[in-house]
């Protein structure tokens, strides 16, 4: 049974996130990410702690596949998407930005699932992409992606993925 949330957890890496609920029937969360390993901590949280199924490029072997059918398959599987925007690329001006494939995936999944079901987890300090103005995202500092888990659970519950 879900616990009542009375406060947001502190942003310390060792504090457990209070679990709001378990997965509802047949939900699949796409995780879009760059090369940072932070996405794997998110995947573990979604699968182990919340009981959600996830899909990402690493979900199965992709050798020999072209990107379009792979994305189409994942678009068909996902009922929700989380994009992990981390500072991995550098612009000519020296600014840090998220990988462009993750920005592309954000647009694809926002178009398919809607803005409320394609959530951005945004590492602080990255350059905003041109059409992010007005979009809500969940920020996190450094490599502390766990800072997003409490807010992300609230969104998953709102969208019916958690009981």
pLDDT score of 50 more than 60 = yes
162 vs 129, residue with greater confidence? 162
pLDDT tens sequence across 53-82? 999 988 777 788 888 888 889 899 999 999
Mean pLDDT of the chain: 84
Determine contact, residues 19/49, Cβ cutoff 8 Å: yes
pLDDT value of residue 25? 57
Determine contact, residues 85/38, Cβ cutoff 8 Å: no
Phi-psi region of 26 (alpha: psi -120 to 50; beta: other; left: phi over 0): left
Task: Report H helices in the chain.
Answer: 38-44, 67-77, 100-113, 149-158
Q: Return the number of other C-beta atoms located less than 10 Å from residue 48's C-beta.
A: 9
What are the CA-CA distances from residue 84 to residues 102, 105, 130 (Å)?
8, 11, 17
In sequence order, what E strands does the chain have?
Answer: 28-32, 53-55, 80-85, 89-90, 96-97, 118-123, 138-140
Q: Is this prediction's pTM over 0.75?
A: yes
């Amino acid at each position: 049974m879900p616990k009542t949330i009375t406060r947001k957890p502190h942003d310390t890496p060792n504090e457990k996130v209070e679990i709001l609920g378990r997965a509802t029937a047949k939900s699949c969360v796409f995780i879009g990410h760059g090369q940072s390993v932070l996405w794997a901590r998110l995947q573990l949280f979604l699968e182990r702690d919340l009981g959600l199924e996830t899909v990402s490029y690493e979900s199965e072997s992709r050798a020999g596949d072209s990107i379009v059918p792979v994305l189409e398959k994942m678009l068909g599987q996902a009922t929700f998407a989380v994009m992990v925007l981390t500072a991995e690329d550098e612009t000519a001006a020296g600014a840090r930005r998220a990988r462009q494939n993750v920005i592309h995936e954000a647009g694809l999944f926002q178009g398919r699932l809607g803005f409320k079901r394609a959530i951005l987890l945004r590492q602080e300090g990255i350059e905003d992409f041109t059409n992010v103005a007005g979009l809500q995202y969940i920020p996190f500092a450094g490599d502390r992606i766990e800072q997003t888990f409490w807010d992300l659970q609230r969104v998953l519950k709102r969208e019916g993925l958690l009981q």
